[in-house]
Amino acid sequence: MNYIRIYLRFVIIYMKGKLEYHFSLLLELIANTILIGIYFAGFNVIFYNFNNIVGWNKYEVLFMFTTSWLSYSFSCFFFWSPMRDIGELVRSGKFDLYLTRPINPFIYLVLQQFQYTFLPRLFFSIYFWIYSLQRLSIQWTVTDVIYYSLNLLSGFVIFSAITVITGTISFWTVKSEEIVSLLTDNNYGLKNFCDYPIQIYSKGMQVLLTFVVPYALTGYYPVANLLGKNLPHLWIAHISPIIALVMAIIAYNFWHFGVKHYGSTGA
């Protein structure tokens, strides 16, 4: 509870600083809104020309990738900016300051910022998630609600763990912004590949998105199971919580390993 109060205080301070340049903040939000709007416009263009993608209709695909986007957006509020910027902190030696604070450096990294640029993505995700649900005939049971909620949480953990792992590489490479973007950026990174049914990709890419960088477990598999799609390996639709736990353990230990081997580079 104490961390929640600290985080809210940091958010207020962070946003007050951003509001000093309110025009810049407004332009950032407008730019991100336009970017996400263009993405959904492109999505509609695809389904204007095709009735379905490998048996998935427009609303099923929309429900699938907004499910993934919900987990992704909440994860990015906390972890995107710290893990993107840590390379600069290591390069300049400013990470030393985080090690001298009377708080865990990882928690301090997360608490001191709020990635408000993901608000448009979250808004669009919620809107189209509701929009798609209203057009699908899913007969929800208590078991389905628990299953879906657990997979949303697992998706949050998977996205967060991957972001932390890629950011931690900065302790050795110094600059890892490109690696973070390559794996986690939803506009041009690998994350973008899980916005559509993974059957459209090669077998190798399917394995990559399922077991190596398990983005397919954040939307495709759980939603396919809910929609009654024919999955060749149904058990994969139930392993998201296990994979999330494994990823979290890997990210936790990798981060501490990186901090332990950190050596200040200076300016």
Question: Which tokens is 132 given?
Answer: 């798609």
Q: What is the pLDDT of residue 188?
A: 67
Q: What is the pLDDT of residue 150?
A: 96
Q: What is the pLDDT of residue 10?
A: 75
The answer to whether residue 130 scores a pLDDT higher than 90 is yes
Question: Which tokens is 41 given?
Answer: 């416009």
Q: What is the pLDDT of residue 1?
A: 55
User: How many CB atoms neighbour CB 112 within 10 A?
Assistant: 18
User: How many CB atoms neighbour CB 215 within 10 A?
Assistant: 27
Q: Which residue has the higher pLDDT, 60 or 84?
A: 60
Q: What is the pLDDT of residue 207?
A: 93
| Separation of alpha carbons 1 and 243, rounded Å | 28
User: How many CB atoms neighbour CB 163 within 10 A?
Assistant: 25
Q: What is the mean pLDDT of residues 173-185?
A: 69
Q: Taking the domains of the chain in order of start, what are their residue ranges?
A: 2-260
Give Cβ neighbours of residue 212 (< 8 Å, ≥ 6 apart).
none
pTM: 0.89
Kindly give the pairing relationship between strand 56-57 and strand 52-53: antiparallel
- Give the pLDDT band of residue 89 (cuts 50, 70, 90): confident
- Give the pLDDT band of residue 191 (cuts 50, 70, 90): confident
